[in-house]
Chain A
């Protein structure tokens, strides 16, 4: 069985501040992990993914995430938030055909 927990349904930051979106997972086997972004009334778009190898993964738009097996975490970060980063972010875990998604975190960016 696999599951994903995203801590905080809403995260609010100021423009230029660090963005940290938390994701913890459970999986019976080594997982593949994903972060997706969703802008209002649109589909999801892949930000980055971890499969094997390097545990620090870089994605689009300046985002990165680090796979920490000991903490079963895959937190998403960005050094400096931009107004255009305001969106819903979903973490997902996959160890078979069907991914399991977290409930999402809404990122709010204040000017």
Chain B
């Protein structure tokens, strides 16, 4: 079955640690996205990538970093510079190519800072 996987489902981090959230898709989509979700605030865009080896900052990129070395993978690193990282993180993909296409979402990773 085609889809998007995120791991781990739950992640606990101590203050001052960097952590990396995994996102993999086998939909052959060009575009991939990372969102942060906090209660009552909807989805806020962290980073997005339209093509391999290229990515752009979203609205709340500070304290986060990404890479896009392979088409199917778009890992997100939450660095110690992110002051309030406890949130639900969603990865998404779309066909891309400039078309107006819907996004497909992974199941999410819930990050808690201890």
Binding site for B on A (CB under 8 A): 9, 32, 34, 36, 41-46, 49, 51, 90, 94-95, 97-99, 101-104
Binding site for A on B (CB under 8 A): 4, 6, 31, 33, 40-43, 45, 48, 50, 58, 88, 90, 92, 96, 98, 100, 102-108, 110
Cβ B100 vs Cβ A98 within 8 A: no
Central interface residue in B33, B48, B103, by most chain A CB within 10 Å: B103
Cβ A103 vs Cβ B90 within 8 A: no
Q: Which residues does chain B contribute within 8 Å of A41, judged by CB atoms?
A: 88, 108, 110
19 more contacts with CB within 8 A, not counting A43-B6, A43-B90, A49-B102, are: A36-B105, A41-B88, A42-B107, A43-B92, A43-B105, A43-B108, A44-B43, A44-B90, A44-B92, A44-B103, A44-B105, A46-B104, A51-B100, A90-B42, A97-B48, A102-B42, A103-B40, A103-B41, A103-B42
Given the known inter-chain contacts A41-B110, A44-B90, please indicate yes or no for A94 contacting B100, CB distance below 8 A. yes
Cβ A32 vs Cβ B100 within 8 A: yes
7 A-B pairs with CB atoms under 8 Å apart are A9-B40, A43-B106, A43-B107, A94-B100, A97-B98, A98-B48, A103-B41
CA of A45 to CA of B43, assembled, Å = 14
CA of A94 to CA of B100, assembled, Å = 7
CA of A97 to CA of B110, assembled, Å = 26
